[in-house]
């Protein structure tokens, strides 16, 4: 037996209750709840970016600033983006090693995009330098086979600090800057997890 509208309700109200009214905007449907995290480098500055795909666009967090962006793919590597009340056309040209050029209007923005693994590798290999004390982390799970420095040692940029064996290959982790070893957590023969702090150079 099919249920009708409640007693006293206007005719047809039951049908209207089952429909979404014309002009009603459905909330965006999240396609995946797991954000993808990147570090974008623009003019030497790091920006932490989290991107969660959703229906017809993206939920984006840039340094804790939240953006809801509608996106449509155009021909080739071009996107039409709407953020708030503003719309943009972005043309993207991909280079090597995560480097891209983004054309917005008449301005080209050269970016370097690193995922978490590439960022750890960059920092551990000494190719990425920041001001202040620098951590050298294990880029992947492995075993410390050699410790080449001790606390208090003066080191030069690019000098070997620790050797980690991973996937049957030895990786010499180098100092990201000239300075002094202020912390040493690496122990020869010890197993380490990905991202484990091994050395700090200040």
Do 43 and 79 share a domain, yes or no? yes
**Total count of domains within the chain:** 2
Kindly report, residue by residue over 55-98, the tens digit of the pLDDT.
Answer: 888 899 998 899 999 988 888 778 899 988 899 998 887 765 56
Phi, psi of 119 (to 5 degrees): -65, -40
Among residues 52, 84, 115, the one where a domain terminates is 115
Average pLDDT of span 110-130: 68
Distance CA 68, CA 87 (A): 12
Tokens of 108: 């080209």
CATH number at residue 141: 2.40.50.100
Tokens of 140: 């992947």
| Residue 198: Cβ-neighbour burial (10 angstroms; 0-12, 13-18, 19+) | buried
Average pLDDT of span 110-119: 77
Indicate the helix (H) or strand (E) that contains 112: strand 107-115
Kindly report, residue by residue over 121-172, the tens digit of the pLDDT.
Answer: 666 665 554 567 888 888 777 899 999 999 999 999 889 999 888 756 677 8
Do 148 and 177 share a domain, yes or no? yes
Kindly report, residue by residue over 2-38, the tens digit of the pLDDT.
Answer: 445 545 444 544 444 444 334 444 444 444 456 778 8
| Residue 186: Cβ-neighbour burial (10 angstroms; 0-12, 13-18, 19+) | buried
Do 101 and 170 share a domain, yes or no? no
Q: What sign does the CA torsion over 33, 36, 37, 42 have?
A: negative
- Please enumerate in sequence order all residues whose Cβ is within 8 A of that of 138, keeping only pairs 6 or more positions apart, or say none: 124, 164, 173, 192, 193, 194, 195, 196, 198
Average pLDDT of span 44-54: 84
pTM: 0.42
Asked if the structure places residue 197 within a domain, the reply is yes
Task: Look at residue 22 in the predicted model and tell me its pLDDT.
Answer: 40
Task: Look at residue 13 in the predicted model and tell me its pLDDT.
Answer: 47
Alpha helices for 29-163 (secondary structure H): 116-124
Give residue 53's pLDDT band: very low, low, confident or very high (50, 70, 90).
Answer: confident
CATH number at residue 78: 3.30.700.30
Q: Which domain holds residue 189?
A: 126-201
Distance CA 65, CA 159 (A): 38
Of 105 and 26, more confident: 105
Among left, alpha and beta (phi > 0; psi -120 to 50; other), residue 105 is: left
């Amino acid at each position: 037996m099919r249920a009708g509208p409640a007693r006293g309700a206007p005719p047809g109200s039951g049908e209207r209750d089952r429909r979404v009214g014309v002009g009603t905007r459905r909330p965006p449907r999240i396609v995946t709840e797991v954000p993808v995290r990147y570090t974008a480098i623009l003019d030497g500055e790091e920006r932490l970016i989290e991107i969660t795909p959703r229906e017809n666009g993206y939920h984006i967090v840039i340094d804790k600033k939240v953006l809801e962006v509608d996106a449509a793919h155009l021909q080739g590597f071009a996107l039409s983006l709407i953020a708030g009340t503003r719309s943009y056309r972005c043309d993207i040209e991909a280079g090597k090693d995560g480097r891209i050029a983004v054309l917005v209007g008449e301005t080209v923005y050269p970016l370097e995009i690193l995922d978490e693994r590439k960022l750890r590798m960059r920092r551990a290999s000494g190719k990425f330098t920041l001001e202040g004390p620098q951590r050298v982390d294990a880029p992947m799970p492995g075993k410390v086979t050699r410790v080449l420095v001790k606390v208090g040692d003066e080191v030069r940029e690019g000098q070997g600090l620790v050797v980690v064996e991973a996937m049957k290959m030895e990786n010499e982790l180098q100092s990201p800057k000239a300075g002094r070893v202020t912390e040493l957590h690496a122990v020869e023969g010890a197993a380490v997890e990905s991202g484990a702090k091994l050395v700090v150079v200040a």
